[in-house]
Amino acid sequence: MKLILIHGRDQQGKDRAALQKAWERALDEGFEEAELDKPRYSVAFPFYGDELDRLVKVVDAPLVKDVAKRRGAPDTNEADFRGALLEELAENASISKTTIAQHYKGDPKEKGPLNWGWVQAVLRALDTTPLGEKAIDRFTRDVYVYLTYDLVSRTINKIVTDKIDREPCVVVAHSLGTIVAYRVLRDLGPGFDVRRLITVGSPLGVEKIRDHITPPALAMPSSIPSWFNAYDDRDVVALRALDKRTWPIKPPITNKRDVDNDTKNRHGIIGYLDDPVVAKWIYDGLTS
């Protein structure tokens, strides 16, 4: 049995082997917490961190805070996506428009996702969350580039797809990696034996992201029989369950919303893999 681990964004410049070991150590702690003996399995860790960073630079997509420094009007599609995404994250984090307005110095009539001044105000308001302004800014940029530039998505997806063969496997994905995992598994042809998909810290419940992965319609990838999604309800990019309201698919996704992620930003992978319930779902997939 193979365990395929799909990381999120902001991994550029890091050592692939060290990252894989950190994931494995955290999962071992989860097995121990769940009082389970570690099963036998091999690990595949498709590392795309450096390639994503290179492609983002090729695309030359700036951070929100840098847009105002550029000459000319910002790209409307980018403004619509990133502005709306940030507004949705703020709403999900219970940050009111009144609070955002306290950070806004522009024309009150021009509030909205197409106004970068307003978007910057949303970011400053989100700085009160555990993830913080800078990380959220980079997250929205990288997600936008991955979802909207075909060359980027094809390149990243291939890095992951190349690690999936005919051997039975369980896929565990985190953050942006959950979007990558869903698209890769959805596109797999027949003959693959993916026993289970486990997503943690996933932004797939965010409406603006769902809009960019459909069509085709949302569906359980034909290559997997079950999907388990876990998150900490303080994780600002994963505040929505993948349930019948956000992901009305059959069979339904099983959700765990009460992970106590003890990493500083409530989003780190270590705080998800060492959760005993998450570990049990992985264990059951590996031993099925």
CA pair distance 177, 207, nearest whole angstrom: 17
Judgement on whether residues 41 and 134 belong to the same structural domain of the protein: no
Q: Which two tokens stand for residue 126?
A: 């989100």
- Which of the four pLDDT bands, split at 50, 70 and 90, describes residue 110? low
Please check the confidence at residue 283 and state whether its pLDDT lies above 80: yes
Phi/psi at 276 (5° precision): -65, -30
Judgement on whether residues 46 and 73 belong to the same structural domain of the protein: no
Domain span including residue 124: 61-148
- Which of the four pLDDT bands, split at 50, 70 and 90, describes residue 61? confident
**pLDDT tens-digit profile of 233-248?**
999 999 899 999 999 9
Judgement on whether residues 93 and 158 belong to the same structural domain of the protein: no
- The per-residue pLDDT for 199 is 98
Task: State the total domains in the chain.
Answer: 2
Domain boundary among 148, 174, 207: 148
Judgement on whether residues 172 and 259 belong to the same structural domain of the protein: yes
Helices and strands in the chain: count of H runs, count of E runs: 12, 6
Judgement on whether residues 154 and 277 belong to the same structural domain of the protein: yes
pTM of the model: 0.94
Judgement on whether residues 88 and 218 belong to the same structural domain of the protein: no
- The per-residue pLDDT for 74 is 57
Average pLDDT of every residue of the chain = 93
Please check the confidence at residue 5 and state whether its pLDDT lies above 60: yes
CATH number at residue 49: 3.40.50.1820
- Which of the four pLDDT bands, split at 50, 70 and 90, describes residue 73? low
Q: What value does the mean pLDDT take over residues 139-160? A: 96
Q: What value does the mean pLDDT take over residues 69-93? A: 81
Burial of 16 (0-12, 13-18, 19+ CB in 10 A): middle
Judgement on whether residues 138 and 201 belong to the same structural domain of the protein: no
Domain boundary among 101, 116, 148: 148
DSSP string, 10-33: --TTS-HHHHHHHHHHHHHHHHHH
**H or E stretch covering 254:** strand 254-256
Judgement on whether residues 182 and 99 belong to the same structural domain of the protein: no
Q: What value does the mean pLDDT take over residues 202-216? A: 94
Judgement on whether residues 171 and 204 belong to the same structural domain of the protein: yes
Please check the confidence at residue 79 and state whether its pLDDT lies above 60: yes
Q: What value does the mean pLDDT take over residues 25-50? A: 98
Judgement on whether residues 65 and 129 belong to the same structural domain of the protein: yes
Judgement on whether residues 199 and 263 belong to the same structural domain of the protein: yes
Judgement on whether residues 71 and 182 belong to the same structural domain of the protein: no
- The per-residue pLDDT for 131 is 95
